[in-house]
Structure 1
Amino acid sequence: MTTTTALWSRAQQQDFRARVRGCLLGGAIGDALGAGIEFHSLGMIRDSHGPAGVRDYVRAYGRRGAVTDDTQMTLFTVDGLIRAETGRDAGEWNAPAEVHRAYLRWRATQRYEAPDLRDPALGRLGRQEWLYSQRAPGNACLSGLEDDRMGTLAAPKNRESKGCGTVMRSAPFGLLVDREPAQVFHLAAECAAQTHGHPSGVLAAAAFAAIVHGVVRGGTLEGSVHEALGLLAGWSGHEETAAALRQALDAVRQGAPSAERLETLGQGWVAEEALAMGVYCALVAEDIRHGLLLAVNHSGDSDSTGSLCGNLLGALHGETALPADLLAELEGRAEIAELADDFAMELTQGAQLHGPGVASTAWAERYPAA
């Protein structure tokens, strides 16, 4: 996928949709694999599940295959980006504002037990009752969205926070394949600042989006990491994030992958560590299952590192490479796939849904204007 124009061949559309589905569903699978062991040490995991650790879903939030706030916020990122794309008809593309409004809708899912179906602004995603559930949301994500003021790069929310709540929701920015890498990087940074202000929290999210972007456009994973490092170099405060990515690259060459080697990169509670761990697991993965299981079996934020690895491997290989047994049991599978299809359709066929002389009522109800 290398196109940056509005003209897509059928083969390009099919490839792009497969990668979008792979990215979102793969991230959700990794999230769900880690959900039940997120706060367990590696020793506890091995004591409970054997020397190899977990090999399948563990019950969490009352079921197997349950996703967490990582997937919730990722889906609302997609929702905001689709709405931003529809605004281009009026000559506007205010993606940070649309994503912020989407995050406020996510914040409502953490406050209320069910959607207010009378509110037309909710759109399709905001009406999904299964999303109205607290799944260990990050404190900075909650407090950053406590009021309506949007954090910006100049005036971010939670200036000292660099929790992984930025990076775990940022894969969708990388799916904007008709944008240049620097634009994707900057947009992800702007939207990370809505909840986290520390440079590493902001730039880890931006780097992750840039890596996903490179992969979806047909680049190799390692090459996309190097491109992200190049983008990082132009930003103040990049040193910690760049060092974490270089450590991940170095770890690939230090021997066979293992939980112990993964833990040399950190525990994943902070953004740059989660980024490095997710990237490392994707780089050394023999296949998607191997990479995901490596990414969750450690003493740290297992669901976040699992989701990042899943985003990357799904974007790289497409949805048909995802483990079928894990996909079959995934919470929200149908809704995630449908949202992925909507995103791909908006980017490749948006002119047939809205614009001069075109108005799909169904699309406007799914993604209403602000």
Structure 2
Amino acid sequence: MSATSGAVWGRAEQQDFRSRVRGTLLGAALGDALGAPVDRLDLAAIREAHGAEGLTDLAPAHGRRGAVTHLTQLTLFSVDGLIRAQVRRDAGAWHPPTDLHRAYLRWAATQRDWGPDERRAEDGWLAREEWLYARRDPARSLLLGLGDDIMGTPEAPKNPAERGPEAAARSAPFGLLVGWEPQLVVQLAVECAAQTHGHPTACLSAGAYAVIVHALARGDALDGAVQKALALLSARPGHQPVSDALQRALGAVRQGMPAPARVEELAGEGTAEGLLAVAVYCTLVGEDVRHGLCLAVNQSGPSGAAGALTGGLLGALHGETALPPGWIAELEGRPTLLALADDFAMEMTQGPALHGPAGSAPGWLARYPRGA
């Protein structure tokens, strides 16, 4: 069913889709929040701080339990940009990478400004959420890539040597475009990754992650979703490191009981393809969401990104009701996450009723203006 064509969705379909959208966004944020206190600590230091089993519960970071980082902030702006792209399509302005770039520039403003500029109505509601105006250790590549108005593209990327996982970790929302063809999901994620992370493995890892989420959100099992990603990657130059990482993740499942050493081996140097492999592996072998997330973050690399990537997959696979309620209760920004998730689900299933030829809802266009 095409979510962009105005096709009619049944009520059960809408409810399932909304649960997976909520699950994906909340799951990614929970993984980010779980990993934030131990990000880039080595495993010995994690165990010294949290016990022999490592981190098994939310712990304080940035002054509170359940705090999220720039990874969640940017994921929210990915969703905002996708909704704005759909709204702007009515006016004949249809170039989603540009709308995502504008959204990421709104995020960049939150890292510079003291608080929202109430005079700028064209920024929409998300940019007026005061809690987002907090620096949460953003990677230098993000600040450089979004430090001016020039948009990186696959042909002329920003930070062409950057292989980190941050672009992939903001790409789950692209996978929630369930009405799009998978190859278009890959392409959009790749184009948006190039705005900050120009190395081919970083861009293709973002594309692979987005299309795995896409398959899960459509109801596929994770094994099948990874196989779809591998098939789509095979046609793209420079895919081999990403394809190899995914194959290693699948192979690791057959190598005995899950263990931090296996996660660290998959993570490697903490690059995008290594963290993608960690997310796939931890989702496959996790006994439940809590176990999968704890397995992902108890390692010596970028624990926040590993948790966010894993949480996005687990949430897309199982929906929101599988997530640990005690953790959700403490999650920073939960009302914003839920409002944005529900807005995205409504836009993708009922967009024509909100801003179609038959009329528009003024309140919706105030939340998601057609302007910049």
Question: Which interval holds the TM-score relative to the shorter structure?
Answer: over 0.9
Q: Aligned residue for 1:317? A: 318
Following superposition of structure 1 onto structure 2, how do residues 149-228 of structure 1 map, counting pairs within 5 Å? 149-228=150-229
Percent identity (aligned): 57
Q: Aligned residue for 1:275? A: 276
The 2-side partners of 1:130 and 1:346 are apart by 24
State whether residues 73 and 107 of structure 2, in contact with CA within 8 Å, keep that contact through their aligned partners in structure 1.
yes
Q: Residues 142 and 269 of structure 1: is their aligned pair in 2 closer, same or farther, counting only changes over 3 Å?
A: farther
The 2-side partners of 1:219 and 1:33 are apart by 27
Q: Aligned residue for 1:132? A: 133
The 2-side partners of 1:56 and 1:324 are apart by 12
Q: How much does 1:360 deviate?
A: 1.1
Q: How much does 1:58 deviate?
A: 1.1
Aligned residues: 369
Q: Deviations over 1:250-309 (max 9, x none)?
A: 111111101111111125631111111111111111111110111111111101000111
Q: How much does 1:118 deviate?
A: 1.1
Q: Aligned residue for 1:110? A: 111
Q: How much does 1:90 deviate?
A: 2.6
User: Are 1:43 and 2:54 matched, yes or no?
Assistant: no
The 2-side partners of 1:332 and 1:272 are apart by 28
Q: How much does 1:133 deviate?
A: 0.7
Bigger shift: 175-184 or 259-268? Answer: 259-268
The 2-side partners of 1:365 and 1:342 are apart by 13
Q: Aligned residue for 1:248? A: 249
Q: Secondary structure at the match of 1:134?
A: coil
Q: Deviations over 1:153-186 (max 9, x none)?
A: 1111111111111101000000000000000000
TM-score, with structure 1 as normaliser: 0.98
The 1-side partners of 2:197 and 2:23 are apart by 27
The 2-side partners of 1:258 and 1:133 are apart by 35
Q: Aligned residue for 1:340? A: 341
Q: Secondary structure at the match of 1:310?
A: helix
Q: Aligned residue for 1:287? A: 288
The 2-side partners of 1:93 and 1:253 are apart by 45
The 1-side partners of 2:45 and 2:98 are apart by 42
The 2-side partners of 1:336 and 1:269 are apart by 27
User: Are 1:368 and 2:349 matched, yes or no?
Assistant: no
Give unmatched runs, 5+ long, in structure 1.
Answer: none
User: Are 1:31 and 2:32 matched, yes or no?
Assistant: yes
The 1-side partners of 2:218 and 2:234 are apart by 22
The 2-side partners of 1:82 and 1:134 are apart by 25
The 2-side partners of 1:111 and 1:275 are apart by 30
Q: How much does 1:11 deviate?
A: 0.5
The 2-side partners of 1:53 and 1:161 are apart by 30
Q: How much does 1:197 deviate?
A: 1.1
Q: Deviations over 1:131-172 (max 9, x none)?
A: 111111111111011110001111111111111111010000
Q: Secondary structure at the match of 1:166?
A: helix
Following superposition of structure 1 onto structure 2, how do residues 59-98 of structure 1 map, counting pairs within 5 Å? 59-98=60-99
State whether residues 2 and 180 of structure 2, in contact with CA within 8 Å, keep that contact through their aligned partners in structure 1.
no
The 1-side partners of 2:294 and 2:188 are apart by 31
The 2-side partners of 1:294 and 1:358 are apart by 49
Q: Aligned residue for 1:350? A: 351
Q: Secondary structure at the match of 2:38?
A: coil
Q: Secondary structure at the match of 1:223?
A: helix
Give unmatched runs, 5+ long, in structure 2.
Answer: none
Amino acid in structure 2 at the alignment position of 1:368: P
Q: Aligned residue for 2:304? A: 303
Q: How much does 1:80 deviate?
A: 0.2
Q: How much does 1:91 deviate?
A: 3.5
State whether residues 70 and 168 of structure 1, in contact with CA within 8 Å, keep that contact through their aligned partners in structure 2.
yes
State whether residues 268 and 304 of structure 1, in contact with CA within 8 Å, keep that contact through their aligned partners in structure 2.
no
Q: Aligned residue for 1:100? A: 101
Q: Secondary structure at the match of 1:36?
A: helix
Q: Residues 269 and 111 of structure 1: is their aligned pair in 2 closer, same or farther, counting only changes over 3 Å?
A: farther
Q: Residues 332 and 267 of structure 1: is their aligned pair in 2 closer, same or farther, counting only changes over 3 Å?
A: farther
State whether residues 24 and 313 of structure 2, in contact with CA within 8 Å, keep that contact through their aligned partners in structure 1.
yes
Q: Aligned residue for 1:239? A: 240
RMSD over aligned Cα atoms:
1.1
Amino acid in structure 2 at the alignment position of 1:297: N
TM-score, with structure 2 as normaliser: 0.97
Segments ≥4 residues shifted beyond 3 Å? 2-5
Amino acid in structure 1 at the alignment position of 2:53: A
Q: How much does 1:92 deviate?
A: 3.6
State whether residues 268 and 300 of structure 1, in contact with CA within 8 Å, keep that contact through their aligned partners in structure 2.
yes
Q: Aligned residue for 2:264? A: 263
Amino acid in structure 2 at the alignment position of 1:18: S
